[in-house]
Structure 1
Amino acid sequence: MNYLSAENIAKSFGDKWLFKNVTFGMSRGDKVALIGTNGTGKTTFLNILAGVMPPDEGEVSLRKDIRVGYLDQSPSFDEELPVIEVIFASSNPVAHAVKRYEQALATGNNDALTEILEEMDHLKAWDFEAKAKEILGRLGIHDVDARYGTLSGGQRKRVALAKVLLEDPDLLILDEPTNHLDLSTVEWLENHLNTQNTTLLVVTHDRYFLDKVCNNVLELDHGSAYTYKGNYAYFLEKKSEREEVEAAEIDKARNLMRKELDWIRRQPKARGTKAKYRVDAFEDLKDKASQKKYDNQLELNVRSTRLGSKIIELQSVGKSYDGRELIHNFVYTFRKGDRIGIVGPNGMGKTTLLKMITGEVRPDNGQVIRGDTIQFGHYTQSDLEFESGQRVIDLVKEVADVVRLGTGQTVTVSKFLETFLFTPSKQYDYVEKLSGGEKRRLQLLLMLMKEPNFLILDEPTNDLDISSLNVLEEFLSNFPGCLMIVSHDRYFLDQLVDHLFVFEGEGKIRDFPGNYSDYRLWLEEQETTGRRTVSTSKPKEKEEVPLPAAVPKPTEISKRKLSFKEQREMEQLETEMPEMEKRKAILVQKLSNGGSHEELMAWALEVEQITESLSEKEMRWLELSEIA
């Protein structure tokens, strides 16, 4: 059953076409991901399909009686209404029936009450308010009587998401629904959309979400649209194949154009009409040859300030607000190369911890001791600061005229902007005209120009397109300094962090060794073991749940210290590992210098054996050090 059809639609702003001649359709049960780089017009495309904005060309048609629910990026409602009233101020017939029922009760209108009771039964509307409160609670909105105008931007987006989900539309259109949601809420939304018989069109950069929820992909690229009948993994495979084919076609067209150009130049002007078909074909060929190949990727390679031996120590730091303890006596000493992800429900104190580390907020107790060489790069959720009428290049030149790269070279600000996909013409655009993702990319550029050695990234993935995220991940994986990330993007965390600070509530922060997927697996094992204990045994002490391999159990850490034998083992490991590292470095140097075939084989084998042995010893040392 066809729900939506878009025929040859196009939209331009000024003399620039965002997209043109796009034909697209959706049938019942389709779950489509809309993908494209920042500035390609994804939000504009959704606005046209939802009927918020007309296309310049073409036509959009919906099946008769289809109800569309649309979550845009900046939802707006009456700021004086309580949250629960925002939910009931809906075109949803169930919400409308409940509201009429309450009005009939309040006025004592028995005739109206008799009529509405039948409608309530027919619509199965009796549990609507309970369902509304449940979904609001799942999305972190617990005070349903709070005025909408008092909510933060993230909370407003969550109320709007709850409203559109409760409307239960035939076609659901969501623009960045995972922004401003914590990780557990993203997973709940993922499961909710998977279990509902929903027809869905969604823009999101959460790659796990795309892979698990969507069965079709629509890509906007260079003004055209491409469809892929599969999930995100299938899209990546087929997109790569398409780009290879198109790059080959462009190369072929350029080679042919050189020959045709030579032919045209050799023709006498008086014979210009003799082979007009060939001249016309040349113009078409020129259009094809002038297309850009897919090589405009971000290449982040900026210099960072040297990091000294002393970094940051958190000595029993604590912080409370309004009598509520967010952080209780947290202790941690940062080491070189630390890559830490910070996870937990919204409002638990994640941003507060980051601000205490940077010195923006003072702890109520304890100390934050920072090394002299620390140069913070703090990427925040706040908006980019700029003056009205300021152009992109002028804003960047306020920081520096040239940028030092990690290789020691320097490049102009204009060249550096190009690596961030700001073309020479885009550099002279007004900052206020940039898309949300382009402003985020510019904010990131400005931060990196200051050569930080300790990066703190608070929700860096919001509004960034997937290609920008991939290159940002590549840069951060090679970043030599310390890295702390708050993010709801599970894929991003899995790629970049090796342990987590998990905010568990009541001021407790767990230092978990592993990435986010490791942590989710551990939680599932914990829940499974807990259920097994309840169902198969009499009440007894809580059973210990093992952490991932080579990770000490929390109960062991709290109950005992290292034995004499373990102390000796740890000391021996600390002596052996540096010696093995030295031997490995010598062998690697020998391999670089070359030798006979037999020698090279022997050295390579020994390097492999040392690497495996070192890995085992490092894991054992980590276990012992956690107990110590």
Structure 2
Amino acid sequence: MNLVNLESVSHAYGPKPLLSDVSLGVEAGERIGVVGRNGGGKTTLMSVIAGDVRPHSGRVTHTGGLQVGFLSQQDTLDAAATVREIVLSGMAEHEWAGNQRVREILTNLIGDLDLEAKSRDLSGGERRRTALAKLLIDDHDLIMLDEPTNHLDIEAIAWLAGHLAARKSALLVVTHDRWFLDAVSTRTWEVVDGRVERYEGGYAAYVLAKAERARIAQAAEDRRQNLMRKEIAWLRRGPPARTSKPKFRIEAAQALIANEPPPRETVELMRFAAARLGKTVYDLEDITLHAGGPATGPLVLDRCTWQFGPGDRIGLIGVNGSGKSSVLRLLADTIKPDSGRVTRGKTVRLAHLSQELTELDPTRRVLETVEEVRKYLQLGKREWTASQLLERLGFRGEDQWKVVGDLSGGERRRLQLLRLLMDDPNVLLLDEPTNDLDIETLNELEDLLDGWPGTLILVSHDRYFLERVTDRSVALLGDGKLALLPGGVDEYLERRAAGTALTARLGTATATSRTSGPATVTSDRPGGAGSGSADAGGGPSIADSSSPQAPSGLSAKEERELRKELNRLERQLDKLTAQEARLHGAMAEAASDYAKLGTLDAELREITAQKDTIEAEWLDLADRLGD
């Protein structure tokens, strides 16, 4: 049974049609994820379906008695009402306390928030959680959520996905969180150019289906282009071509040319050259840090030693308020630690994308904001102006003369990303870079970061993005410790659920006691770039100097011999990793030489087999040492 039907619906704001002759329906129990470019009409579609916006033409029909719960992006909470009044709607305490579903919602969304707090005194994130909790406590036939994961941390997003999957209501959700889409949706709608394209499955299935549609469309376009070339050649053959050819042939060729679609408004992020990094990027020694300044606010780091090397790709995970942004500000030298020493490499060229985007002057024009960093950029053999680069990033024509203060959140974030990348950084600190970016832009940003050779430290609640662009995850658990998560976000959620405090260390990194001299830190990933000791300019490592070392049960002599063998294996793995990289480069250059590709592939397989054998030996030794 259809709960909502749209028949030939059209709607526009200004000259641009957001919905054009759209007909579709939402069935009972259906779970739909809505994707599309920012400004493409997703929110308009949701508002039309919910009945909040009346379309300019067409008809919207709701089944009789339909209960719709709609979480819009606009804040509609009563400023004078308390959290209790908004969420529980006068429900007696024994009623909600005895209802498991209500208790679960309050625990995971409201948490420690004071139920008697007035709505006007809440932060934006707290107001958003309050509105979401109110919606979920009530019963609805159709739940509609516009960006529900905004202001939620990874843990809350995982809970929300499980909660929605267990409900029997139909679901319509707009989100840029691709992991969330896969977790809750069984169908995907893409709003593009006024149309709504429909796909079966969640985000992963949508990507595959869209790629197949693109392949089929490209084949048809290739055939059309071939026909067009033949027609034009026929028209131009001979001096009397334009007057003596049959009229229907001329009209057919002109129709083909007229049908040529306008250039797509794609967002393209350029690959910028990174300056060379030395062996030292950041060395944090015996750092104690509180979020609110010395000895004030929550404890973030407690006497920790933390080393970043060139090429590290670290995702920093933790609940809201655990101090992730404080760690980035510490690295950016905008705050100082309570105690300890921060050593920054001489070759570091830092770019820090904060959540607040305070670096942007709201009174400046978009073009001026970019030109104050650099007016021209040499890319290959061509010199690009700031205006040309802005155009490639979606700021076309008059958009470049907009005042920064008038830009949307997504536009401001795109603008600041461009400014940062134009300055040729080799260290990127990104604090929630995916906020307000649509999926197409996220894909482009991921593609950029995939091949970016600098050091990356990322804070993000976008699980898909986090796992896509980083090599490892480290958790801030709120107790001053750092913990490696070999299992990534899944391990973080499991350990948080179990209430397990993790030992603060990165993989197999080991540290001697404070009284026995400086710590020796080794890479947690065999064969990873730069494995070895920190003093030797080794690879990525995080260590907490206060972490106890697990007893190995070995004599001092046996332990020395085993560590010597461990270091030897790591050097071998470094060499094999370098050979692997060389072979990958050679295979890319020989892409059209199939004979050479076969030879290189065989050589690569042999090296991979050697690495597997040595890694097994490395892991066995590390296990014997208790690392």
Scaled to the shorter chain, the TM-score interval is 0.7 to 0.9
For residues 432 and 256 of structure 1, do their structure 2 counterparts lie closer, same or farther at Cα, with a shift above 3 Å needed?
farther
Q: In structure 2, what is the Cα distance between the partners aligned to 1:497 and 1:387?
A: 31
Is 2:434 aligned against 1:441? no
- Aligned equivalent of 2:129: 158
Aligned residue number for residue 29 of structure 1 = 29
Change (3 A) 1:416 1:566: farther
Query: Paired residue for 2:549?
Result: 557
In 2: Cα distance, 1:168 partner to 1:441 partner: 39
Q: 2:106 aligns with which of 129, 133, 136?
A: 136
Give the distance between the partners of 2:356 and 2:441, measured in 1 at CA: 19
1:287 and 1:34, CA in 2 relative to 1: closer, same or farther beyond 3 A? farther
Kindly name which structure, 1 or 2, has the bigger radius of gyration based on alpha carbons. 1
* Cα distance change, pair 131–564 in 1 and its aligned pair in 2 (3 A): same
Whether the 8 Å CA contact 1:216–1:230 is kept in 2: the answer is: yes
- Kept after mapping to 1: 8 A contact 2:566/2:622: no
Q: Matched residue of 2:40: which SS?
A: coil
Matched letter for residue 227 of structure 1 = R
Give 1:317's aligned amino acid: I
Deviation digits for residues 63-83 of structure 1 (CA, Å, limit 9, x no counterpart): 221121111223232333321
Alpha-carbon distance in 2 for matches of 1:17, 1:338: 45
Alpha-carbon distance between aligned partners in 2 of 1:509 and 1:363, rounded to the nearest angstrom: 16
Corresponding residue for 1:73?
73
- The alignment partner of 2:37 has SS state of coil
Equivalence for 1:366: 340
What letter matches 1:161 in structure 2? L
Mapped contact 1:498–1:513 kept (Cα < 8 A): no
Cα gap change, 1:133 to 1:581, in 2 (>3 Å) = closer
Q: 1:129 to 1:606 in 2, by over 3 A?
A: closer
SS at structure 2 position matched to 1:137: helix
1:527-538 equivalent positions in 2, closer than 5 A: none
Matches within 5 A, 1:154-303: 154-257=125-228, 285-292=256-263, 296=266, 298-303=268-273
Partner of 2:509: none
Report the more deviating stretch, 145-154 or 256-265. Answer: 256-265
Q: Alignment partner of 1:367: what SS?
A: strand
CA deviations over 1:600-624 (Å, ceiling 9, x no partner): 9888656543443345546765874
Provide the alpha-carbon RMSD of the alignment: 4.1
Contact 1:257 1:289 survives alignment (8 Å): no
Native 8 Å contact 1:7 1:59 kept in 2: yes
Secondary structure at the residue paired with 2:53? coil
Identity of aligned residues (%): 35
Matches within 5 A, 1:412-451: 412-424=385-397, 426-432=399-405, 434-451=407-424
State the Cα deviation string for residues 102-153 of structure 1 (Å, max 9, x = none): 9xxxxxxxxxxxxxxxxxxxxx956588855542330254222222222222
Residue in 2 that maps onto 1:378: 352
> For residues 447 and 166 of structure 1, what CA distance do their matches in structure 2 show?
43
Does the 8 Å CA contact 1:591/1:604 hold for their aligned counterparts? no
* SS of corresponding position for 1:309: coil
Given residue 504 of structure 1, which amino acid in structure 2 is its aligned partner? Answer: L
Mapped partners of 2:597, 2:56: distance in 1: 67
What's the secondary structure of 1:470's corresponding residue?
Answer: helix
Distance change in 2, residues 1:18/1:313 (3 Å): same
TM-score calculated relative to the size of structure 1: 0.79
AA aligned to 2:451 is N
What's 1:613 paired with? 610
| 2:448 alignment counterpart | 475
* Bigger mean CA offset, 254-263 vs 562-571: 254-263
Residue 484 (1) aligns with residue 457 (2): yes
1:292-331 correspondence runs (5 A)? 292=263, 296=266, 298-320=268-290, 321=292, 322=296, 324-331=298-305
Unaligned regions of 5+ residues in structure 1, if any? 89-94, 103-123, 528-547
Judged with a 3 Å threshold, the aligned counterparts in structure 2 of structure 1 residues 561 and 10 are, in CA distance, closer, same or farther, namely farther
**Structure 2 CA distance for aligned equivalents of residues 16 and 364 of structure 1:** 54
Q: Deviations over 1:321-349 (max 9, x none)?
A: 45643322222111111111111211111
The letter of the residue matching 1:462 is N
Q: Return the offset for 1:506.
A: 2.4
Q: Is the 8 A contact 2:348 2:427 kept in 1?
A: yes
**Counterpart in 2 of 1:570?**
563
> What's the counterpart of residue 105 of structure 1?
none
Q: Give the gaps of 5 or more residues in structure 2.
A: 501-523, 527-540
Q: Distance in 2 between matches of 1:443 and 1:496?
A: 19
Structure 1 position 332 matched with structure 2 position 332: no
Partner secondary structure for residue 259 of structure 2: helix
Native 8 Å contact 2:110 2:130 kept in 1: no
Amino acid of the structure 1 residue aligned with 2:80: E
Deviations 1:289-311 (A, max 9, x none): 234479x4624301223212221
Q: Is contact 2:97–2:103 with CA below 8 Å preserved after alignment?
A: no
Q: When the two structures are superposed, what TM-score results if normalisation uses the length of structure 2?
A: 0.79
| Deviation (angstroms), 1:397 | 1.8
Return the offset for 1:434. Answer: 4.3
SS in 2 for 1:7: strand
- Residue type of the alignment partner of 2:196: A
SS at match of 1:460: coil
3-state DSSP class of the match of 1:505? coil
Query: 1:292, 1:233 → 2: CA distance?
Result: 27
Counterpart CA distance in 1 for 2:358 and 2:43 is: 20
204-213 or 565-574: bigger deviation: 565-574
SS in 2 for 1:11: strand
Query: Are the aligned partners of 1:250 and 1:291 in contact in 2 as well (CA < 8 Å)?
Result: no
The amino acid that maps onto 1:447 is: L
Q: Tell me the matched-pair count.
A: 571
Match of 1:466 among 439, 449, 474: 439
2:323 equivalent in structure 1:
349
Of Structure 1 and Structure 2, the greater helix share is in 1
| Partner SS, residue 289 of structure 1 | coil
Q: 1:208, 1:454 → 2: CA distance? A: 27
C-alpha change, 1:388 and 1:580, in structure 2 (3 Å) is closer
CA distance in 2: counterparts of 1:468 and 1:167, whole angstroms: 35
Q: Deviations over 1:523-572 (max 9, x none)?
A: 79999xxxxxxxxxxxxxxxxxxxx9989xx9983335974334334334
